[in-house]
Amino acid sequence: MIHTDFSPGLIRDLAGLIEEAEYVLIGAGAGLSADAGYDYLESVKFLKRYPYLKDIGVHCRYHSIGFVWPTKSMEWAFYARQLEEDLYGPPPHPEPYVQLRRLTDHANRWVFTSNADDLFSRLGFDPERTWTVQGTFANLQCQRPCCEEVWDSRPYIERLLPCVDLKTGELKDRSAVPVCPHCGGDMILNVRGGSWFVEKPYKRQRAAFNEWLKRAAAGRLVVIEIGAGFNTPSVIRWPCEVITARHHNAHLIRINPHHPKTQFSVGERATSIAMRASPVLSVLSKPAQRTMKLSSARAGSELCSKNGEKDVTQGL
C-alpha cells in the first residue's frame, strides 16, 4: 500500500514492525545521500563552487559521471575538490543517517548501498556490515586495469588540493595527476561504470552479506529501502523487493517520494511511503513523537518542490 501522508496509525504500525524485527536490512540509493546534503542534481550551489565547468557542460555532480574531460588536469582538479567536500568533510545534514542508525540499533543489521560516499561508515554504521555495491570514492584503481589492487584516495587528494587553480579549474602542477603505482597508467575512482571496475575489494562484503541473509530468513526481517529509483534498479531497488518476496517473514518499507510502487509480488508485506526520508525517519526515531501526526512533513516536501529544490531520485 502506498501512503502519501504519515498518520498516527501508520507511525504506530511501522514503529512496531521495526521494533519487533530481529533482522534489519537497509537498502540505500542516491535519495538518502541527497537528504544528507549531497544532491547530485543540484546546480545553483554547484556552479557557484565550480563556475568554470558551466562552459564545458558540467552543471551538477551528476553530469560529471562518465564525462569525458578536456584534460586530465581539469578532471583531477575537480575530483580533488569534490572528494574533499563529499568524502572527507562533514555532511551538511547527517540527521537521516543518525536517525536511521538509532531506529535500527537494536536489530541484527546489514546495509547495502549504491552510494559511494561512505556516509554509513562515517556516521556510525559498522563498515564490516556494509556492502558498497558500486564501489567507493575512498579507493582509486588503475583505469586499464593492470591489476586487482586499489589504493586509498586520500593521499592523492591531499597532494592535489594545493595544486588546484580555483580560477581555471586546472592543476598548477600537472605532475600531481595520479598514475598507477604498478604500470604508470591513468587512474580512476574505484566506482562501477564498466568492465574496468575492480570488484575484488567488495567480494568479501558480498559473501558476508549473503551468509547473513541466509540466517535472516529464519527470523523476523524488515527491509528498509530508501531513495532507490530507476537509474540502476537492479542494484538496490529490485533486490529489496526480491528479498522480501522470497523471505516470508520479511516486510518491505519503501521510502521514496517519486517511485513508491513495487514491481514484484509482495502483497501486504510492503508499505510504501511517498515522502522524503528526513521527515519519516525523524518521527520514527523518536518514540515520544510517534503518537503525533506528521501533518507538516508532506507540506515541507511540497515547499521544497515549490522552491525549486530537486530530490535526486527524480533522475533515477
**Nearby residues of 121 by Cβ (< 8 Å), 6 or more positions away:** 127, 130
| pLDDT value for 305 | 41
| pLDDT value for 185 | 97
Question: What fold, for 1-38+94-134+201-316?
Answer: Rossmann fold (3.40.50)
Rounded CA-CA distance 47/54 in Å is 7
The answer to whether the beta carbons of residues 32 and 227 sit under 8 Å apart is: yes
In 3D, which of 191, 210, 186, 193 has the Cα closest to residue 201?
A: 191
Rounded CA-CA distance 187/178 in Å is 6
| pLDDT value for 294 | 42
Sequence letter at residue 120: F
Cis peptide before 145 (omega within 30 of 0): yes
Domains of the chain, by residue range, sit at 1-38+94-134+201-316, 40-90+139-191
Rounded CA-CA distance 55/239 in Å is 39
**Nearby residues of 70 by Cβ (< 8 Å), 6 or more positions away:** 56
Kindly list the averaged pLDDT for each block of 10 residues, start to end, along the chain of length 316.
88 94 97 93 96 96 93 97 91 95 97 96 96 97 97 97 96 96 97 94 96 95 96 95 94 96 87 94 75 43 41 32
Rounded CA-CA distance 284/192 in Å is 33
| pLDDT value for 267 | 81
| pLDDT value for 134 | 96
| pLDDT value for 287 | 65
Q: How far is CA 268 from CA 1, 148, 170, 224, 310, in A?
A: 7, 44, 54, 15, 31
108: left (phi over 0), alpha (psi -120 to 50) or beta: beta
What SS3 class is residue 225?
Answer: strand
Cell of residue 180, nine digits: 598507477
